[in-house]
Amino acid sequence: MELLNDEFYMQLALNLAGGASGQTGVNPVVGCVVVKDGRIVGMGAHLKRGEGHAEVLALNMAGEQAKGATAYVTLEPCSHHGKTPPCCDRLIFEGVARVVVASIDPNPVVAGSGIRRLRDAGIQVEVGVLEAQAVQLNEAFNKFIVTGLPFVTLKTALSLDGRIATRTGHSRWITGAESREAVHTLRHRHNGIMVGAGTVLADDPELTTRLGVPALHPTRIIVDSKLRVPLEARILNEAAPTIVLTTEQANEDKAGLLREKGAEVWRCGTGERVDLTQAMSKLGGHGIGSILLEGGGVLNGAMLEAGLVDKLMLFYAPILVGGTGAPSAFEYTGPEEMSAALRLKRVTMQAFGDDWCVTGYPEVN
């Protein structure tokens, strides 16, 4: 029989939170389980920005049974009046005896004050149960709420020799069906999806989320300094919003035509190329807290060089492509010395059919 302890209930709360990944916008995912006399009496998850917090939903379910109960929450209960009243006040009002928290809310308006308020009210509070999982679950929120910048996950499919196309430019398909399904789940979990104009010209991708179940489409972002994207490109269809990032130099007539197609055109920087750092803060300000970067190689390289990539997910297919000059996943100058190569930390590997996804975080960030 499973030993019922704090970790057991916190795992349940984390599972509830994780199920809502991708649907809370720039808000964190949060789960809550209320336990009284060895029985679960309430469960809840934050499902949408602007709607109920996890604790409130779980306490609503628990009703009078919340009195003297233990509440397991994956994120420190909030202490501020945001779109909803503070969860702390509600936990105190209901007479909850003990609150177990997985991780502190890094939001500067909370950041420990929720825990203090509960303790001041005489509630027993424990912090740090399954903390690593909780922090990982909200890694995008944790960056965005402190910096205002989106968390960028660079995803690419590539051959074992690092190619994303053959020497003729042929690229469909590199990885198998399982990997491609995983990528659609990743799209659902990000607020934005970003590609370079070269990828739009080469592949004409739609960049929507296509899963066997209903899912959300991220906002599509094209980095296009010369406004080369064709007006009939599929990325401009009505399936999801599209933002074209360009420069002050770009042609205004073409910008107008893109706007007529429903796209937003943002000018970031006066130089030859889009100022990616400026673009990231504009996107953050626009409520895009997480971006899935899907290349190609030149944009991947530029984002890496600018230090704007937070996480890499490299889907390796068991193939060698060869071909001198065949496009590689990372086209940038790169360092002179091997010791200066970009090193990843916290590296993990997961199999998807015959492919392997290597996930890691750039050491510099």
CA-based Rg of the chain, rounded to a whole angstrom? 23
* Cβ burial, residue 260 (10 Å; 0-12/13-18/19+): exposed
Between CA 78 and CA 85 the distance in angstroms is 9
Is residue 359 involved in binding ligand AOF (CB under 6 A)?
A: no
- Please identify which residue in 36, 46, 117, 267 interacts with ligand AOF, judged by CB under 6 A: 46
CB 97, CB 119: distance < 8 Å? no
From the list Zn ion, ligand AOF, none, pick the one residue 117 interacts with, judged by a Cβ distance below 5 to 8 Å according to partner type: none
Q: Is 55 a catalytic residue?
A: yes
206 is in an annotated binding site: no
Min CB(56)–ligand AOF separation in Å: 8
53 is in an annotated binding site: yes
From the list Zn ion, ligand AOF, none, pick the one residue 30 interacts with, judged by a Cβ distance below 5 to 8 Å according to partner type: ligand AOF
Between CA 100 and CA 73 the distance in angstroms is 6
- Please identify which residue in 54, 59, 229, 302 interacts with ligand AOF, judged by CB under 6 A: 54
Is residue 343 involved in binding ligand AOF (CB under 6 A)?
A: no
Cα atoms in the 13 Å half-sphere on the side-chain side of 176: 11
Between CA 58 and CA 81 the distance in angstroms is 19
β-strands 311-316, 344-352: how paired? unpaired
From the list ligand AOF, Zn ion, none, pick the one residue 42 interacts with, judged by a Cβ distance below 5 to 8 Å according to partner type: none
DSSP-derived 3-state class of residue 355: strand
Residues in contact with Zn ion, total (CB under 5 A)? 3
Identified catalytic residue from 2, 7, 51, 55:
55
356 is in an annotated binding site: no
Is residue 78 involved in binding Zn ion (CB under 5 A)?
A: yes
What's the one-letter identity of residue 218? P
Binding residues for ligand AOF restricted to 84-113, rule: CB under 6 A: 84, 87, 105, 107, 110
Binding residues for ligand AOF restricted to 11-30, rule: CB under 6 A: 27-28, 30
334 is in an annotated binding site: no
Candidates 47-55, 228-236, 237-245, 262-270: pick the segment binding ligand AOF (CB under 6 A): 47-55
* Cβ burial, residue 271 (10 Å; 0-12/13-18/19+): exposed
Is residue 134 involved in binding ligand AOF (CB under 6 A)?
A: no
DSSP per-residue string spanning 96-145: --EEEEEE----TTTTTHHHHHHHHTT-EEEE-TTHHHHHHHTHHHHHHH
The three-point CA angle 354-326-347 to 5° equals 45
- Which one, 45 or 78, has the nearer CB to Zn ion? 78
User: H/E/C letters for each residue in 37-72?
Assistant: CCEEEEEEECCCCCCCCHHHHHHHHHHHHHCCCEEE
Between CA 72 and CA 10 the distance in angstroms is 6
Between CA 150 and CA 308 the distance in angstroms is 9
Min CB(110)–ligand AOF separation in Å: 5
Is residue 188 involved in binding ligand AOF (CB under 6 A)?
A: no
From the list ligand AOF, Zn ion, none, pick the one residue 280 interacts with, judged by a Cβ distance below 5 to 8 Å according to partner type: none
- Which one, 162 or 287, has the nearer CB to ligand AOF? 287
Between CA 91 and CA 42 the distance in angstroms is 13
> What are the two backbone dihedrals, phi and then psi, of residue 7, each rounded to the nearest 5 degrees?
-65, -35
- Please identify which residue in 12, 34, 55, 164 interacts with ligand AOF, judged by CB under 6 A: 55
Candidates 83-91, 165-173, 265-273, 334-342: pick the segment binding ligand AOF (CB under 6 A): 83-91
Q: Which residues belong to the annotated binding site for substrate?
A: 171, 187, 203, 207, 210, 294
Given the rule CB under 6 A, which residues bind ligand AOF? Answer: 27-28, 30, 46, 53-55, 75, 77-78, 82-84, 87, 105, 107, 110, 145
Residues making up the annotated binding site for NADP(+) are: 157, 173, 199, 225, 296-302
**Which residues are documented as binding site for Zn(2+)?**
53, 78, 87
